[in-house]
Amino acid sequence: MDVEKAFHMAAGVGKTSYASNSTLQKKASDMVKDITIETIQELYTATAPKSLGIADLGCSSGPNTLSIIKDLVAAIEETCSSLSPVPEFRVYLNDLPSNDFNSIFKALPDFYRDLKEQKNGGYCPSIFIAGYPGSFYGRLFPNNSLHFVHSSYSLHWLSKVPPGIYDEQGRSINKDNIYISETSPEAVSHAYSNQFHLDFSLFLQSRSQEVVVGGKMVIILLGRAGPPHVDRGNSFFWKLLSQSLANLVSRGETQQEKLDSYEVHFYAPTKEEIEEEVRRQGSFELDRIKMFEIERDTTSMEMSYGTVVATTVRAVQESMIGDHFGEAILDVLFENYGRLVDEEMGKEEIKPMTFLLVLTKKYI
């Protein structure tokens, strides 16, 4: 299944699920906010364009979409206060065509009004916001139109399920699994790794034509700590979802054939894989790569960690699983999944890793 079809099928995510998903993303963005702000301020200090092009790739349509733009504008205004007039801002919001861009556009009047109120009648910069639907695994914008690119929790989604996991008859060789696991043939991990390298290289190549020399990118994506593809991190969450589906098969609530033919278009790279592809592609300098774990805030959680994880995963996978297995299994599947996560957390911590990348476009 290619990523555009997958995300088109995921367009019907419920509000509760999306709220949990966006909350976790916002927590990660807040953890690296200082670095994001510092990066765009360094960029502007060095280049001082009169018209600043900013793209948010994989922007989605939740409450976080415009908040990052507000933060970036404020950071530039602070930098300009004693240096030069504030530039105009050209903001490009990108996601797949199935994204609810209309909800973003409907929020724009409030966005502009809030900015003006914060100025108490003072000068408000010109901010031109547009939607750019399409896959970021390819060209999206005109040559040299961008100064700053931001992408949060999008680049671990592959453009498609790796073709290398299918045999000559088109059947998956990854039986009983929906991602790389201990029982997966070695060819499965190779196929996923190869697909990531192809996709990430295409992403970098596409952005290299769109970003000006000296322009910067800040990217947040899921990853893994070491070479083993199977760890007690992001891959472990997919293992537990596979187990939850297998439990439904054993109870006769879905078919083994359906489990054997369902795969996720996800990959958690290592630091070395990211560095290797940036170096090989050659258009960007990797200024910074930081690995961190989002700590659980158990004091303020209204539901268990397993339930939070289940609703987050459901936000992305619900429509795809419903289309493949049938919607009747969804509630019981994710209830069991949340319970499995809680049981495993009681035995040993599950530690999903996140990477922050800061890249600068080279002069080539």
Supply the DSSP string of 346-362, one letter for each residue: HHS----EEEEEEEEE-
Exposure on the CB side of residue 257, measured as CA atoms within 13 A: 0
Instruction: Dump pLDDT digits (tens) for 163-182.
Output: 999 999 999 999 999 999 99
**Contacts of residue 227, Cβ cutoff 8 Å, sequence gap at least 6:** 270, 272
Predicted confidence at residue 116, as pLDDT, reads 86
Question: What tokens appear for 124 in the block?
Answer: 């408000």
Predicted confidence at residue 26, as pLDDT, reads 61
Mean pLDDT along residues 34-45: 95
Give the separation between CA 231 and CA 223, rounded to whole angstroms.
Answer: 11
Instruction: Dump pLDDT digits (tens) for 263-287.
Output: 999 999 999 999 999 999 999 999 9
Average pLDDT, the chain: 89
Predicted confidence at residue 60, as pLDDT, reads 87
Instruction: Give 197's pLDDT tier (boundaries 50, 70, 90).
Output: very high
Instruction: Give 63's pLDDT tier (boundaries 50, 70, 90).
Output: confident
Instruction: Dump pLDDT digits (tens) for 94-132.
Output: 999 989 999 999 999 999 998 888 877 667 899 999 999
Predicted confidence at residue 352, as pLDDT, reads 92
Q: For 182-192, b where at least 16 C-beta lie within 10 A, e where not — what string?
A: eebeeebbebb
Report the amino acid identity of residue 165.
I
Report the amino acid identity of residue 326.
G
To 10 degrees, the CA torsion angle through 327, 161, 32, 105? -60
Instruction: Give 312's pLDDT tier (boundaries 50, 70, 90).
Output: confident
Does residue 15 carry a pLDDT above 60?
no
DSSP code at position 173: S
Burial class (CB in 10 A: 0-12, 13-18, 19+), 180: buried
Predicted confidence at residue 316, as pLDDT, reads 86
Instruction: Give 27's pLDDT tier (boundaries 50, 70, 90).
Output: low
Please count the other Cβ atoms lying within 10 Å of the Cβ belonging to residue 219: 23
Q: Which CATH architecture has domain 3-361?
A: 3-Layer(aba) Sandwich (3.40)
Predicted confidence at residue 302, as pLDDT, reads 73
Predicted confidence at residue 299, as pLDDT, reads 52
Instruction: Dump pLDDT digits (tens) for 326-356.
Output: 999 999 999 999 999 999 999 999 999 999 9
- Domain extents in the chain: 3-361
Q: For 2-36, b where at least 16 C-beta lie within 10 A, e where not — what string?
A: ebbebbbbbeebeeebbebbbebbbebbebbeeeb
Which one is predicted more confidently, 238 or 3? Answer: 238
Instruction: Give 303's pLDDT tier (boundaries 50, 70, 90).
Output: confident
Does residue 17 carry a pLDDT above 90?
no
Mean pLDDT along residues 53-69: 90
Predicted confidence at residue 24, as pLDDT, reads 55
Does residue 229 carry a pLDDT above 80?
yes
pTM of the model: 0.90
Predicted confidence at residue 19, as pLDDT, reads 37
Query: 262 with 325: CB under 8 angstroms?
Result: yes
